[in-house]
C-alpha cells in the first residue's frame, strides 16, 4: 500500500497548523488517521490536498481544514461523547475518535454508512458507532452529548439536536437560508433552556436533508458544487459560476459591487503590475464609491510621502508648497503621472470642493519610506559618477525593493565590492542632504501639522532606512512594508476614531504574505498581513489579475518606460484558471463559495509584474507560489489589459483639467 505519511504530515503542517489550528490533540489525530483510506479508489493521491473530494452518492469528503476547524470550535476533550450528523466518508468521525471517548455518527445514505463502518473496522477504530437514518432527529438513546457536529447545511439548528446537548455542550452547525450557502454557527447550551450562539463566518456544505432540515428536492443537484448526481464541475467552471461580471468603470453599478466591503476599516486594493490602466481605473471606481457613499476619508497609496503630499494639498484645495520639486518626476514616473491617476485626482478635488467640511474631505497620502525614489535616484547619480560597478549593484538591489524581482543572484551577492562599501558614507550624505532640503520646504509650509509630525518621525529613522536600503536584501523589504503599515496606522489615528482608509498598492504588498512564497520561503511580511493581524475582520484584501495585453514597464531599474506585451498567463497559474473560465472581467468573492474557496487554497503560480518586466525570464522573474483564497478576500479580473498612458505635454494641450500637481 502507498505510504503517504510524509504527505499527511505536510498537509497537517501547511494546511492545518500554519493556518492557525494549534490544538495538539487535533494535530496528532490528523497525523494518525490515513485520509487516503477514506477517499474513493483512484483519488488517493489527492487525499492530502486541502480540498473536498467527491465520494459515493454524490456527496463529499470534507476539506481537512474545515474538519479541524469544526473540531476546534466544538472544543472536544478526551472524555467526551460526541454525535456527528453526516458520516459521509467517515473521515471526520475517525479523526474525532482519536481524541474523544466515543463517537456516534449518522448518515442518511445506507451505502455510505456501510462503507464507513467497514473502514473503521479495518483501521481498528472500535469507539465509533454508525447508524443509517435522519440525523436531524439526533440519537436520543445515546444523549446527552458533550458536542454535536453537523457536516451538512441546515435552514436552522434542529431542536432535537439542541435538546440532546448536555449543559455546557456545543453544537457546531452550518446554517443558511439557501441550501448550499451557510454561516458556521456554534450553539452552546448554557442552562436547562438557555443557549448562546456564535458566528464563525461563511461556509458552503451540501444540504442537510431531513425532518428538521431541508426537504429532499432533486434540484439541489444543480445548485451545489459536487452535489447530487451532476457531473463534478471543473475549476474554471466553478470560477465562472461564482464570477460577478463587472460593468463599465463609469457605471455606478461597478462601485456598488464592492459595497459588501464598505463596513471595513481598511480596504486594500492591489494591482498585478504598476503599469496597467484597468487596475487604476477599477481602483478609482471603487474608491470613489467608498468615499462618496460610505464616508472613507483616507486614500493611502504606494508612493513617497512628499510627492503624495503635493497631491493632497491640491485635492484639498490648499495652497501649493513652495518646494521647487515637481512631484513624481523620478523613476518610475508613469506609476503616478498617468492619465488614470490624473482623472482620479481631478475627481477627488471636485468631490472635496463639494463637501467643504474639512473633516469629511478625503486626503491623498503616500505610505512609502520617506522619499524613497528621490533617495535612490540621488544614490544612483552619485555612484554612476564615482563607481559605475557599485552603481550596477545598487540598481539590482533597488530592484529587490520593488515587486516582483525575485533575482536570487542579487541577494546572493552579499560580498559587495570594496568600492561599494567605500561609497557608503558619501551616499548617506546625499540622502541626508536631500532630506534636509525637503524638510526645509515642508517646515516653511507649516500649515499641515500632521505633515510636520510625519516628517519628524521619519527623520528619526531615516539614517537606518538609508543604510538598510543601501545594502538591500529581504530586510529592506520588511522595513519598507512595516513602515507603510505604521504610516497607515498614524493616518487613521490622525483622521479620527471612525476614520476609514482605502489603500492602493501592488498585490505583493496587499496579499497576505504568510500565504505566498514571500512569507513561506523568505520570511517577508507585508502591509496586507500586518493589517489582518492588527485589524482582523475589519480589513478587506482585494487582489487584481490579468491574462495578457500590454503593460508600461522598464527593462531595468531607472530605465526608460516601454510598452511591453504581457505574455499569456502560465498554464499552472491562477491567472490561467481565470482566463479559462471565459468571463472577461469579474469580481470573485473568495469568501462566499466554500467548495470553490477550498479549491483555491491549493498553491499555484501567480504573476507579479512591478515597474520592471522581463518577459524573457518571466517564470523565474515574475511568478511565485501562492494560496489565492488565503492571500486575498476577493480577486478582480480583467482578461485583457492595456498599458497606462503617461502624462505628457499633449495632455496639457488636450486640456486635461488642472494639471498643477503633476506640473505639466
Ligand atoms: N464528515 C464527512 C466526511 O468527513 O467525509 C463529510 C460529510 S458530507 C459533507 C455531508 C453528509 O451529510 C453527506 O454524506 C450527506 O449524505 C449527509 N446528510 C445530509 N443530510 C443528512 C441527514 N439528515 N442525516 C444524516 N446524514 C445526512
Residue nearest to atom 18 of ligand 1 (CA): 86
> From the CB of 306, is ligand 1 less than 6 Å away?
no
Beta partners for 172?
149, 186
> From the CB of 105, is ligand 1 less than 6 Å away?
no
Name the residue of 109, 151, 207, 225 whose CB sits within 8 Å of the most ligand 1 atoms, as the mutation to test its pocket: 151
Pick the closest to residue 282 from 296, 267, 297, 271 (CA basis): 271
Name the residue of 59, 86, 129, 214 whose CB sits within 8 Å of the most ligand 1 atoms, as the mutation to test its pocket: 86
* Measured distance CA(158)–CA(138) in Å, rounded: 9
Pair type for strands 585-589 and 60-61: unpaired
| Angle of CA points 554, 555, 559, to nearest 5° | 60
Closest atom of ligand 1 to CA, residue 38: 5
> From the CB of 210, is ligand 1 less than 6 Å away?
yes
Instruction: Output 197-203 pairs: Cβ under 8 A, ≥24 positions apart.
Output: 200/69, 200/73, 201/591, 202/591, 202/592, 202/594, 203/66, 203/153, 203/174, 203/594
> From the CB of 97, is ligand 1 less than 6 Å away?
no
**Unique residue bearing C-alpha cell 432535537:** 160
Residue 220 has what pLDDT?
42
* Spatial contact of 316 and 352, defined as CB atoms under 8 Å apart: yes
Nearby residues of 93 by Cβ (< 8 Å), 6 or more positions away: 84, 87, 103, 105, 116, 120, 128, 130
Name the residue of 62, 66, 70, 108 whose CB sits within 8 Å of the most ligand 1 atoms, as the mutation to test its pocket: 108
- The Å distance, Cα 43 to ligand 1 centre, comes to 19
* Measured distance CA(651)–CA(659) in Å, rounded: 9
* Measured distance CA(496)–CA(455) in Å, rounded: 20
Name the residue of 56, 84, 87 whose CB sits within 8 Å of the most ligand 1 atoms, as the mutation to test its pocket: 87
The three three-digit cell numbers of residue 509, written as one number: 504588498
> From the CB of 107, is ligand 1 less than 6 Å away?
yes
- The Å distance, Cα 207 to ligand 1 centre, comes to 8
Neighbouring C-beta atoms of residue 468, cutoff 10 Å: 18
> From the CB of 92, is ligand 1 less than 6 Å away?
yes
Pair type for strands 181-189 and 165-178: antiparallel
Pair type for strands 298-304 and 501-504: parallel
Residue nearest to atom 17 of ligand 1 (CA): 86
Is 0.85 surpassed by the pTM of this model? no
Dihedral, CA of residue 147, residue 148, residue 149 and residue 155, to nearest 10: -140
Going by the DSSP 8-state scheme, the letter that residue 261 receives in this structure is G
Phi-psi region of 549 (alpha: psi -120 to 50; beta: other; left: phi over 0): left
62 is catalytic: yes
Signed CA dihedral, 433, 527, 23, 30: sign only: negative
CB burial of residue 191 (10 Å; 0-12, 13-18, 19+): exposed
The three three-digit cell numbers of residue 601, written as one number: 487554497
* CATH topology for the 4-222 domain: Rossmann fold (3.40.50)
* Spatial contact of 185 and 121, defined as CB atoms under 8 Å apart: no
Is domain 241-369+486-653 in CATH 3.40.50.720, yes or no?
no
Report, as ranges of residue numbers, the positions in the chain whose pLDDT lies below 70: 1-2, 50-51, 179-181, 217-232, 322-325, 370-375, 378, 396-423, 431, 434-435, 437-463, 467, 469-474, 652-664
Residue 222 has what pLDDT?
32
> From the CB of 39, is ligand 1 less than 6 Å away?
no
Helices (H), 400-502: 408-412, 418-422, 424-445, 449-471, 474-494
* Spatial contact of 294 and 516, defined as CB atoms under 8 Å apart: no
- The Å distance, Cα 514 to ligand 1 centre, comes to 33
- The Å distance, Cα 155 to ligand 1 centre, comes to 15
CB burial of residue 645 (10 Å; 0-12, 13-18, 19+): middle
Closest atom of ligand 1 to CA, residue 205: 9
* Spatial contact of 439 and 459, defined as CB atoms under 8 Å apart: yes
* Spatial contact of 112 and 130, defined as CB atoms under 8 Å apart: no
Closest atom of ligand 1 to CA, residue 84: 1
> From the CB of 52, is ligand 1 less than 6 Å away?
no
Closest atom of ligand 1 to CA, residue 112: 14
End-to-end CA distance of the chain: 72
Going by the DSSP 8-state scheme, the letter that residue 101 receives in this structure is S
The three three-digit cell numbers of residue 399, written as one number: 530592484
Domain ranges of the chain: 4-222, 241-369+486-653
Residue nearest to atom 11 of ligand 1 (CA): 86
* Measured distance CA(147)–CA(164) in Å, rounded: 9
Cα-flanking dihedrals φ and ψ of residue 140, to 5°? -55, -35
* Measured distance CA(192)–CA(228) in Å, rounded: 39
The crossing angle, in degrees rounded to 10, of helices 449-471 and 424-445 is: 170
Maximum pairwise Cα distance, the chain: 87
Going by the DSSP 8-state scheme, the letter that residue 157 receives in this structure is -
CB burial of residue 215 (10 Å; 0-12, 13-18, 19+): exposed
Beta partners for 638?
546, 585
The three three-digit cell numbers of residue 33, written as one number: 488517521
* Measured distance CA(404)–CA(202) in Å, rounded: 32
Residue 281 has what pLDDT?
98
Length of the chain: 664
Cα-flanking dihedrals φ and ψ of residue 455, to 5°? -60, -45
> From the CB of 134, is ligand 1 less than 6 Å away?
yes
Residue nearest to atom 27 of ligand 1 (CA): 86
> From the CB of 206, is ligand 1 less than 6 Å away?
yes
Q: Which of 17, 62, 277, 461 is catalytic?
A: 62
- The Å distance, Cα 168 to ligand 1 centre, comes to 25
Amino acid at each position: 500500500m502507498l505510504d503517504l505519511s510524509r504527505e499527511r504530515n505536510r498537509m497537517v503542517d501547511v494546511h492545518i497548523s500554519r493556518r492557525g489550528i494549534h490544538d495538539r490533540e487535533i494535530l496528532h489525530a490528523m497525523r494518525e488517521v490515513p485520509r487516503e483510506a477514506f477517499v474513493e479508489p483512484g483519488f488517493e493521491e489527492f487525499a492530502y490536498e486541502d480540498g473536498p473530494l467527491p465520494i459515493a452518492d454524490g456527496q463529499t469528503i470534507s476539506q481537512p481544514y474545515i474538519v479541524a476547524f469544526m473540531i476546534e470550535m466544538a472544543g472536544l476533550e478526551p472524555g467526551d461523547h460526541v454525535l456527528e450528523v453526516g458520516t459521509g466518508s467517515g473521515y471526520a468521525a475517525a479523526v474525532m475518535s482519536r481524541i474523544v471517548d466515543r463517537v456516534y455518527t449518522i448518515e442518511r445514505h445506507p451505502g455510505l454508512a456501510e462503507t464507513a463502518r467497514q473502514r473503521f473496522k479495518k483501521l481498528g477504530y472500535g469507539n465509533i458507532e454508525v447508524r443509517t437514518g435522519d440525523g436531524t432527529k439526533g440519537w436520543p438513546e445515546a444523549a446527552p452529548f458533550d458536542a454535536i457536529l453537523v457536516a451538512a447545511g441546515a435552514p436552522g439548528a434542529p431542536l432535537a439536536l439542541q435538546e440532546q446537548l448536555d449543559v455546557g455542550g456545543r453544537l457546531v452547525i452550518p446554517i443558511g437560508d439557501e441550501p448550499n450557502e451557510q454561516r458556521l454557527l456554534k450553539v452552546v447550551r448554557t442552562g436547562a433552556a438557555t443557549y448562546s450562539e456564535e458566528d464563525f463566518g461563511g461556509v458552503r456544505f451540501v444540504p442537510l436533508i431531513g425532518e428538521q432540515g431541508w426537504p429532499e428536492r432533486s434540484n439541489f443537484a444543480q445548485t451545489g458544487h459536487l452535489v447530487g448526481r451532476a457531473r463534478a464541475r471543473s475549476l474554471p467552471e466553478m470560477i465562472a459560476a461564482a464570477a460577478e461580471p463587472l460593468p463599465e468603470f463609469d457605471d455606478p453599478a461597478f462601485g456598488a459591487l464592492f459595497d459588501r466591503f464598505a463596513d471595513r476599516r481598511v480596504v486594500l486594493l492591489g494591482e498585478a503590475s504598476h503599469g496597467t490602466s484597468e487596475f487604476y481605473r477599477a481602483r478609482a471606481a471603487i474608491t470613489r464609491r467608498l468615499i462618496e457613499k460610505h464616508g472613507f476619508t483616507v486614500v493611502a497609496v504606494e508612493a513617497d510621502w512628499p510627492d503624495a503630499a503635493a497631491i493632497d494639498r491640491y485635492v484639498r484645495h490648499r495652497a501649493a508648497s513652495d518646494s521647487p520639486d515637481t512631484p513624481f518626476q523620478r523613476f518610475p514616473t508613469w506609476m503616478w503621472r498617468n492619465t488614470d491617476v490624473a482623472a482620479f485626482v481631478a475627481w477627488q478635488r471636485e468631490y472635496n470642493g463639494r463637501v467643504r467640511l474639512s473633516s469629511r474631505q478625503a486626503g491623498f497620502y503616500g505610505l512609502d519610506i520617506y522619499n524613497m525614489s528621490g533617495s535612490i535616484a540621488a544614490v544612483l547619480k552619485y555612484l554612476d559618477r564615482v563607481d559605475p560597478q557599485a552603481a550596477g549593484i545598487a540598481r539590482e538591489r533597488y530592484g529587490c525593493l520593488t515587486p516582483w524581482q525575485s533575482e536570487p543572484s542579487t541577494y546572493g551577492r552579499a560580498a559587495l565590492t570594496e568600492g561599494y562599501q567605500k561609497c557608503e558614507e558619501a551616499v548617506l550624505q546625499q540622502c541626508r542632504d536631500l532630506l534636509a532640503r525637503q524638510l526645509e520646504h515642508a517646515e516653511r509650509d507649516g500649515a499641515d501639522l500632521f505633515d510636520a509630525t510625519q516628517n519628524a518621525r521619519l527623520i528619526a529613522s531615516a539614517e537606518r532606512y538609508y543604510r538598510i536600503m543601501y545594502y538591500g536584501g529581504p530586510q529592506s523589504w520588511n522595513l519598507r512594508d512595516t513602515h507603510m503599515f505604521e504610516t497607515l496606522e498614524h493616518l487613521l489615528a490622525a483622521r479620527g476614531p471612525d476614520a476609514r482608509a482605502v489603500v492602493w498598492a501592488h498585490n505583493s504588498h496587499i496579499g497576505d504574505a504568510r500565504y505566498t512564497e514571500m512569507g513561506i520561503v523568505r520570511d517577508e511580511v507585508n502591509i496586507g498581513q500586518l493589517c489582518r493581524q492588527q485589524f482582523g475582520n475589519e480589513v478587506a484584501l482585494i487582489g487584481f489579475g490579468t491574462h495578457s495585453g500590454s503593460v508600461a514597464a522598464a527593462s531595468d531599474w531607472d530605465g526608460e518606460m516601454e510598452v511591453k506585451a504581457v505574455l499569456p498567463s502560465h498554464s499552472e497559474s491562477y491567472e490561467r484558471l481565470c482566463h479559462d473560465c471565459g468571463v472577461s472581467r469579474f469580481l470573485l468573492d473568495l469568501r462566499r463559495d466554500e467548495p470553490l474557496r477550498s479549491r483555491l487554497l491549493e498553491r499555484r503560480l501567480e504573476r507579479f509584474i512591478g515597474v520592471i518586466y522581463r518577459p524573457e525570464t518571466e517564470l523565474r522573474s515574475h511568478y511565485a507560489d501562492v494560496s489565492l483564497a488565503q492571500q486575498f478576500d476577493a480577486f478582480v479580473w480583467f482578461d485583457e489589459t492595456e498599458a497606462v498612458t503617461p502624462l505628457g505635454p499633449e495632455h496639457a494641450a488636450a486640456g486635461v483639467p488642472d494639471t498643477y500637481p503633476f506640473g505639466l
